[in-house]
Amino acid sequence: QKEVEQNSGPLSVPEGAIASLNCTYSDRGSQSFFWYRQYSGKSPELIMSIYSNGDKEDGRFTAQLNKASQYVSLLIRDSQPSDSATYLCAVRDNYGQNFVFGPGTRLSVLP
């Protein structure tokens, strides 16, 4: 059973701080990793994808991947109250071609 784990939170950070969200996965064959943001009552929306070890930056968001440790993280710099949402980590392997989601981490950015 392929598993993706995340701390459920809530993770509370003050406005302007860095929020750090973590995800671990069990399937060593996984090749593609995604972070989705889900506002309450809304559907998930893709914010970052990462395929290679290292860091990938997009605006205030940085995704970090370490395949040896089976670990992927998302950093949000200069956190804003509008970043308050649940962040879902999703993992896809090259064989099954489906996506396994973690339970999500609820982030609360306090003004």
Partner 1 sequence: EAGVAQSPRYKIIEKRQSVAFWCNPISGHATLYWYQQILGQGPKLLIQFQNNGVVDDSQLPKDRFSAERLKGVDSTLKIQPAKLEDSAVYLCASSLVTHRGRIGELFFGEGSRLTVL
> What is the smallest separation between the CB atom of 85 and partner 1, expressed in angstroms?
13
Place of tokens 């940085």: 62
Asked if residue 7 lies in contact with residue 87, where contact means CB atoms within 8 angstroms, the answer is no
Radius of gyration of the chain (CA): 13
Which residue from 1, 15, 3, 19 is spatially nearest to 89, judged by alpha carbons? 3
Nearer to partner 1, 17 or 71 (CB): 71
> Distance (Å, rounded) from C-alpha 57 to C-alpha 85?
20
Residues that bind partner 1 (CB under 8 A): 4, 8, 34, 42-46, 49, 88, 90, 92, 94, 96-104
> What is the smallest separation between the CB atom of 47 and partner 1, expressed in angstroms?
11
At residue 20, what is the residue type?
A: S
Nearer to partner 1, 17 or 22 (CB): 22
Nearer to partner 1, 17 or 49 (CB): 49
Token reading at 27: 């399937």
Nearer to partner 1, 21 or 100 (CB): 100
> What is the smallest separation between the CB atom of 62 and partner 1, expressed in angstroms?
18
> What is the smallest separation between the CB atom of 78 and partner 1, expressed in angstroms?
25
